[in-house]
Amino acid sequence: MSLTKLPFSRKLLSLGPIILLYVSVLNEFDFNYLNLKYFSFNFPYILIFYWSLKGEGRLSYVLVFLAGLINDVVIGLPLGISSVTYLFICVFAVYLRNITLRVSLIKDWFFFLFTILVINSIFYSILVVFFNVKIDYYNLLFNVLYTFLFYYFFSYIFGYYLNLLRRTND
């Protein structure tokens, strides 16, 4: 019997995206120590979008909501703002899933760019207008750019993982 066919391994595999989401919001993969100016990307955005789009309901919205609250606490943002942005990403991904007839990575990729541009606009507006928190606009723009670029890379890794999950469930 292969290791991935064991009930515990199967459970662990199916929880993989959620575990990764929680590790990433608690750990904040920021790469600050690399001292690269403006380099940052939002890994939770990539993960939530991909798994809401392709994950066939494996990513629980309640857990995404809680991950948002945790992210706010770790970064020090007003409580609830990350939950709003994460859930809006889910809305966009589900909308794309509903209207997609023929799957194309390039289409998904550019729809992801549109999504994060809208989401970050909401995020920026709420922080600046309602909470008077100053944010470096260039940082935010570069964050969008790198998040967009990394989506393509991570979609291959997640795609491989998703196939593994499907095979273990067969």
Partner 1 sequence: METNRDDFIIAIRSAFLKKGTKQRFSLIVLLFFSITILTLSKYNFKGISFLKSGLNEIVYRASFIISAPENFVVNTYKLTMSHINLYDDHKKLKKDFKALKAENLSNNFIISENIMLKSKIGDIVDISSEILAKVLVDKQSPFLKSIIVNKGSKDKVKLGMAVLDGDFLIGKVVEVNYLTSRVLLLSDLNSKVPVSVEPNSVQSILTGTGEKFGKLQYTQLESFDLNNGDQVYTSGSGGIFKSGIPVGEINIIDESKESYVLFHSNFSQLRLVKIVLYENIN
Tell me which residues touch partner 1 (CB under 8 A): 23, 26-30, 32-33, 35, 37-38, 40, 57-58, 60-62, 64-65, 68-70, 73-81, 83-84, 87-88, 90-92, 94-95, 98-99, 126, 130-131, 133-136, 139-140, 143
Spell out the residues 6+ positions from residue 145 whose beta carbon is closer than 8 angstroms to its own.
none
- For the CB of residue 52, give the shortest distance to partner 1 in the complex, in Å: 9
Minimum distance of partner 1 from residue 56's CB (angstroms)? 8
User: Half-sphere exposure (CA, 13 Å, Cβ side) for 31?
Assistant: 11
C-beta closer to partner 1: residue 29 or 156: 29
Q: How many whole angstroms separate alpha carbon 139 and alpha carbon 123?
A: 13
- Read off the DSSP letter of residue 78: P
The radius of gyration computed from the CA coordinates of the chain, to the nearest angstrom, equals 17
Task: Give the containing element (helix H, strand E) for 148.
Answer: helix 137-169
Q: Residue 2 or residue 35: which is nearer to partner 1 going by CB?
A: 35
CA nearest neighbour of 51 among 169, 119, 151: 151
* Smallest distance from partner 1 to CB 68, Å: 7
Cα 55 from chain centroid?
Answer: 12
* CB closer to partner 1 out of 99 and 106: 99
Rounded to whole angstroms, the Cα distance separating 132 from 128 reads 5
Contact 40, 21 (CB under 8 A): no
Shortest distance in whole angstroms from residue 30 CB to partner 1: 6
> CB of 69: closest distance to partner 1 in angstroms?
6
Name which of 7 and 76 has its Cβ closer to partner 1: 76
Q: Which is nearer to partner 1, 16 or 28 (CB)?
A: 28
